[in-house]
Amino acid sequence: MPAYAIFGATGLCGGAILSQLLSPPHDPSTTQASGPPNCINLYIRSTAKLASQNPALLSMPNIHIFSGAITSLDTITSCLLTHPPSSSSDTTPTTPAPASTPPILVNTIFLALGANENLPGTRINQDAVHAIVAALTSLKFTHPDMRIPNLIILSSGTLNPHITRGVGTGPLGHALLMRALNHIYADSARAEEFLRLHRSWLTDVTFMTPGGLSDDDVAQGHRLSFDEVAPFVSYKDLAAGFVEVARAEGEGEREMFRWRGVSVMPRKDGASAKMEWRNGMTIVRGLVWNYAPVVAGGLKWLGVF
């Protein structure tokens, strides 16, 4: 049974990945599911938020929910370990296997975290990768030959100059985005830099680098690309891309994704998800947070932001 860990399952991207994984794989030659349901560990900051979004998750035997501080080594370690199906979700950290027994980790870690505001000091991705690396390092110290999971992390096409070279925003548009979302992008870039420090043993890391993200409910179908990016892609198609990378099999296919930026494109050439006009306000707010953080803080306190 495949096993996965999702960090950020209550967000739009993480929630879409979860929906993809909850849909059982099907054998194309039949109408039946081709295997048992995926075993999924969820790390979330708010169990109440998850319950309000999808209360059925709390009683699914193949779902294990972990909440708490991202700095809790026990919690993060437990989220990375596989657990047998249970009658109810258990939020209590599980004690790692005895030193003599190699731990069985999830196959893939999905890191689908993101900030909604360009706040100074944003470090949500940095904190997450520090916690994951610390947990894996602790386990690896006791079991040096254990299998390290694949890590697939949400990044941005804006940080990948190769993949965005043909996007119509041009240098000025790129510069505007970098200034309007500078704290968010800095967090992602520093998280990536930290992971690269551990490249000698973190051998299978992929950065998903989409363009703009859209709440479009219609999945257009997707394809993966190393050389181009769509102006907008839906969260559903992005999640399908995450799962496709995770399910790549064979050394040759896996090698193709290792330590590379991958974008998710609509399957049809020239297609794009609907533009989210609220992104304009996000850029305006981000510029204020960048150049006048005191003013932005005051407006937020007044409820304007």
pLDDT tens readout for residues 86-140: 654 445 555 555 555 778 899 999 999 988 899 999 999 999 999 999 999 999 9
Exposure string over 190-220, b if 16+ CB within 10 A, otherwise e: ebbeebeeeeeebebbbbbbbbbbbebeebb
Cβ–Cβ under 8 Å, residues 113 and 5: no
Rounded Cα–Cα distance for residues 194 and 178 (Å): 20
> Which of 163-167, 227-231, 293-297 is the least confident region?
163-167
pLDDT at 270 over 80: no
CATH code for residues 3-274: 3.40.50.720
Q: Check residue 30 and give its pLDDT.
A: 46
Element (H, E) at 24: none
Top mean pLDDT of 76-85, 163-172, 192-201 is at: 192-201
Q: Which amino acid type is present at position 82? A: T
In the chain, ranges of CATH 3.40.50.720 domains: 3-274
27-31, 117-121, 252-256: range with lowest mean pLDDT = 27-31
Please check whether residue 262 is in contact with residue 245, taking contact to mean a CB–CB distance below 8 angstroms. yes
Structure pTM?
0.87
Give the span between the Cα atoms of 4 and 200, in whole angstroms.
Answer: 23
Distance of CA 53 to the CA centre of its chain: 18
The average confidence (pLDDT) of the chain is 85
Task: State the greatest distance between any 2 C-alpha atoms of the chain, in Å, as a whole number.
Answer: 61
Please report which helix (H) or strand (E) contains residue 247, including its range. Answer: none
pLDDT value for 249: 82
pLDDT above 90: percentage of residues in the chain: 48
Q: Name which of 105, 200, 99 is nearest 141 in CA terms.
A: 99
* Per-residue pLDDT, 89: 46
CA angle 113, 61, 7 (to 5 degrees): 10
Q: 149: which DSSP letter? A: P
Q: Which of 269, 101, 292 is nearest to 180 (CA)?
A: 292
